[in-house]
Amino acid sequence: MTALDARPDTSTVLRFPQGFRWGTATAAYQIEGAAAEDGRTPSVWDTFSRTPGKVRNGDTGDIAADHYHRLDEDIALMRRLGVTDYRFSIAWPRVVPTGSGPVNAKGLDFYRRLVDGLLEAGIRPVATLYHWDLPQELEDAGGWTERETAYRFAEYAGVMADALGDRVATWTTLNEPWCAAFLGYGNGVHAPGRTDALASLRAAHHLNLAHGLAARVLRGALPSSAEVSLTLNLHAVRALSDSPEDRDAARRIDAVGNRIFLDPVFHGRLPEDLVRDTAGITDWSFVEDGDLATAAAPIDSLGINYYSPAVVAAGASESPSPWAGAERHVRFEPAPGPRTAMDWPVDANGLYELLVRLRDELPDVPLVVTENGAAYDDYADPSGNVKDPERVDYLHAHLAAVHRALADGADVRGYFLWSLLDNFEWAYGYSKRFGIVHVDFATQRRTLKDSARWYAEVIARGGLAASRA
């Protein structure tokens, strides 16, 4: 990465540095569809979504936004918006159907068409290797609770680097490993749906190991100009009060929500307080010699996904809880302010807090906001327009927070809006809409929402108005 200008303009238009990356983001299982076409095999999300009661309305990603068949249309939409970058994920079971072994040429061809189409449109490809769609065969062998999965992931990273390394500018190993480990194996609200605190901690460690192994493989296979990154959904944790008990609750969540990834990846160590907090669950003997050094393989940037803050107090969480080691000591409190259709509080200060925290803790690591957005109950009106002023307000506030962090010295290189398209929203199925492009799932018709037009204007002028009426 080349350094951007140090401080942005602070006039009535909040201008971002020259070279700031304006992007949007998606994930394979949420948009691609074609779940059983051209050699793709089931992932844990195919299995989970077919399990009664796991996904709202019994929805699956079988068709999703049909991106697999509408690739050219979706690239044209991005070109119309003027985005400089597109962050997408690769479906592991589409390219290595069994998780290890033979490579599926038709699966690779799809991603070649995607990358070539982006480049032809002048859009920089940003590839994520893992956005939760673990091949089901690997889960049947233990999934992320087994260290072998980390080695299979590194092999898969090598396959993709060999296929697309000359054309993809940025490679992200993992997206939100916290969700994969703790929602997938801890409280079971995500695939594969396990509820086992020990399994969640083992999964977290093996995801860290997988990241480090894959980063080394990528570094050896990619041209020197390519960037290697990791994306974390760090928690902006606030204690309800200044009492020692509430402050300790915030510390516990920071340990198992943030530092369980930050410390191994950037410091080659486990947080000592996390080890103490989880002593009743595990002695961490599954961490083998050399694992933490491997996890700490150097990367070029850190992606930050942020949606809302968390307010905690001393107490106990509902069971099953994703917060291994903290579940009997922490309860979550409602944060003040407006809420999205996900019932998540809207508070852009949380994003600013995370960015300046990382400025201080990781001063040499460039940052990218790799996901930020909101779900609202928007719809196409009789004239075919989709008005979503709440989403525009949300995006304006959060981009202003990024600008403020830049002005205060945070090295933020880009912003990726979540999401390009309305899509399959995991356990919520098709009931929640995050896209700036409305998708009629019955017809697959795409319609730009007002937020898409607003974002296109922000990109075109390289900034936004200092205030929004």
Residues tagged active-site = 176, 371
Is residue 421 within 8 A of residue 67, CB to CB? The reply is yes
Residue with tokens 């893992």: 130
**CA–CA distances in Å: residue 400 to residues 246, 349, 355:** 30, 10, 13
**Phi and psi for 468 in degrees, rounded to 5?**
-120, 125
Q: Give CA–CA dist 63/441, Å, rounded.
A: 9
Burial class (CB in 10 A: 0-12, 13-18, 19+), 183: buried
Q: Give CA–CA dist 196/184, Å, rounded.
A: 10
Collapsing DSSP states into helix, strand and coil, what is residue 261? Answer: helix
Strands (E), 339-392: 367-371
Is residue 421 within 8 A of residue 446, CB to CB? The reply is yes
Q: Give CA–CA dist 424/465, Å, rounded.
A: 32
Structure tokens at 402: 């990024």
Residue ranges of the alpha helices (H) in 121-232? 136-140, 148-164, 177-178, 197-221
Residues whose CB falls within 8 Å of the CB of residue 357, separated by 6 or more in sequence, listed in order: none
**Phi and psi for 124 in degrees, rounded to 5?**
-80, 120
Residue with tokens 């061809």: 109
Q: Give CA–CA dist 187/196, Å, rounded.
A: 7
Cα 277 to its chain centre, rounded Å, is 26
